Amino acid sequence: MALKTGDEYIQSLKELDLKAHVMGQAAGGLTSHALVEPSMRAVAQTYDCAHDPQSKDLFRVISPLCNEEVNRFTHLHQSAQDLVNKVRMQRHCGNLTGCCFQRCVGMDAANAVYSSTFDIDAATGSAYHQRFKEYWAWVQKNDLVVDGAMTDPKGDRGKRPKDQTDPDMYLRIKERRQDGVIISGAKLHQTGMLNSHEILIMPTISLRPGEEAWAVCCAVPTTAPGVRYIYGRQTSDTRKLESCRLDVGNPKFGGQEVLTVFEDVLVPWERVFMAGETAFSGTLVERFASYHRQSYGGCKVGVGDLLIGAAALAAQMNGVAAASHIREKLVEMIHLNETLYSCGLACSAMGQPTASGNYLVDMLLANVCKLNVTRFPYELARLATDIGGGLLGTMPAAADLEDPVAGPYIRKYLKAADGVAVEDRFKVLRFIENLVAGAGSVAYLIESMHGAGPPTAQRIMIGRQGDLEGKMQKVKSLLDLA
Ligand code: SF4
């Protein structure tokens, strides 16, 4: 099947006709909903890039799974170069959209499930891997968006899943039947869920014997009966409902997070890829997390490029582009951003094949990448705020620009360097505001902190993978210690 264009993808979503609760109302027609549409357009870019002569070589790849050319967003990485190309592709998408383009989670989930099901089968004689291969070949051939669903609500964090007052705090198998399993629970913070065709569900933590009900990995369509969606709010999101687009900040694109409820959803056995194998839940979680921690070394860098560019434009518009302190700050921003990219590339270049044949990132370096992502975008945002100036927080509404009384005052007093249109200054400052304090900050800052796990999760992995013992041995050997 030919790779979809962005328009064909949007048409496919229209045919799904998903419903959600949005801002206190049951809403349909989501593909043209003012709060949802920008996020759908961001995903559509991942399709259009596979047709753009400038980028299609990067976005298209032959999949050995279905022996066809597929969009790299559905690819199972076959080499370290594939992993590198994934990060390059994500930076490119960040450059085009200035937001989260949502499609990476399914790609990362698929790569983790592919190798994990192989390992389960090898150890237990199950048949999950072949099932998953058939499922994913179908996803590739139909060029679908798959939401990788991991984060459970978790209830009381001090208790294990089986000790929770409400067992649905971790998504679970409620019933095993001849025709499949019934699942019950929820997944929080689901990136791009309403822009997806399928949901690939994974456990959220490493599970122990006795917790088999929560060790579940499976796939359901987003249209499955019993799945409900509640749309997440973002800072300043109602600006998208205003007729004047100038205050939105990012006028074309946006991200999307959704609370997704699974109320007694039937999953047929051919879509079940783990059902009780607690010993492999930790492996699956770690692999998915590592892939997604690598992803941030591409997407956040792409958005960071735009933030740096906007800060440089703001300085230029203020007439201070040549000031040494501005140059220093911009260089620092570039340094921070390229450090993140270096981490994304490094964990990719050092990737190794799994027993199943697809490639896994270097997990230590992927965690170093993400730990830096929990900090550097905040520093980039601080520097952009510094360069942008106080107007970032006090600028009048763009609608007042057209007001016959207020408009002339705004044009007179918000004029900066000669030759700079006040509207252009508004656009640049609103774009910076969007990323450091507005709707875009959900993905650029809060998600940088918590997406793919908070900093503590990376520190734990770095502690495990960092080979402290080996480092001590090297010193003993060098110094001839006993
Ligand atoms: Fe992709 Fe980045 Fe969004 Fe994750 S946060 S889905 S890696 S764009």
How far apart CA 301 and CA 67 sit, in angstroms, is 32
In the chain, % of residues over pLDDT 70: 100
Cα–Cα distance, 174 to 264 (Å, whole number): 8
Q: What is the pLDDT of residues 8-39, one digit of tens each?
A: 999 999 999 999 999 999 999 999 999 999 99
Residue from 93, 104, 217, 347 carrying the catalytic annotation: 104
CA angle 188, 189, 192 (to 5 degrees): 125
pLDDT grade, residue 1 (50/70/90)? low
* CA distance linking residue 282 with residue 12, whole number of Å: 35
CA distances from 198 to 106, 223, 259, 293 (A): 9, 8, 15, 22
Which of 96, 200, 295, 444 most suits a substitution to test ligand 1, by most atoms within 8 Å of the C-beta? 295
pLDDT in tens, 177-234: 999 999 999 999 999 999 999 999 999 999 999 999 999 999 999 999 999 999 999 9
The pLDDT value recorded for residue 2 is 82
Q: What is the pLDDT of residue 16?
A: 97
Contacts of residue 121, Cβ cutoff 8 Å, sequence gap at least 6? 127, 128, 129, 130
Atom of ligand 1 nearest to the CA of 255: 3
Q: 0.85 cut: is pTM over it?
A: yes
Catalytic residue, chosen from 231, 292, 359, 444, is 292
pLDDT over 90 (residue 471): yes
Phi and psi at 175, nearest 5°, equal: -155, 140
Q: Which residue has the tokens 């900040």?
A: 249
100 classed as catalytic: yes
Mean pLDDT of the 401-430 span: 97
Using DSSP's 3-state secondary structure scheme, residue 481 falls into coil
- Dihedral pair phi/psi, residue 292, rounded to 5°: -75, -25
- DSSP H helices in 414-451: 422-436, 441, 447-450
pLDDT of 245 > 90? The answer is no
Question: Residue of the nearest CA to atom 2 in ligand 1?
Answer: 299
If you average pLDDT over residues 276-293, what whole number do you get? 98
**For the CA of 300, the nearest atom of ligand 1:** 2
**447 within ligand 1 shell (Cβ under 6 A):** yes
Q: Residue 164 belongs to what H/E stretch?
A: none
Per-residue confidence (pLDDT) for residue 261, from 0 to 100: 98
Q: Measure the CA–CA gap between 294 and 80, rounded to whole angstroms.
A: 13
pLDDT at 244: 87
In this prediction, residues 244-273 reach a mean pLDDT of 96
Q: 299: Cβ below 6 Å to ligand 1?
A: yes
451 lines ligand 1 (CB under 6 A): yes
Work out which ligand 1 atom sits closest to the CA atom of 452. 4
**3-state SS, residue 259:** strand
Question: What is the best residue among 234, 296, 306, 435 to mutate for testing ligand 1's pocket, by most ligand atoms within 8 Å of CB?
Answer: 296
Residues 6+ apart with CB under 8 A from 405: none
Asked about 104 being catalytic, the answer comes back as yes
Q: What is the pLDDT of residues 131-176, one digit of tens each?
A: 999 999 999 999 999 999 999 999 999 999 999 999 999 999 999 9
> From the candidates 74, 97, 151, 191, which is the catalytic residue?
191
Spatial contact of 341 and 301, defined as CB atoms under 8 Å apart = yes
Instruction: Please tell me the predicted confidence (pLDDT) of residue 358.
Output: 98
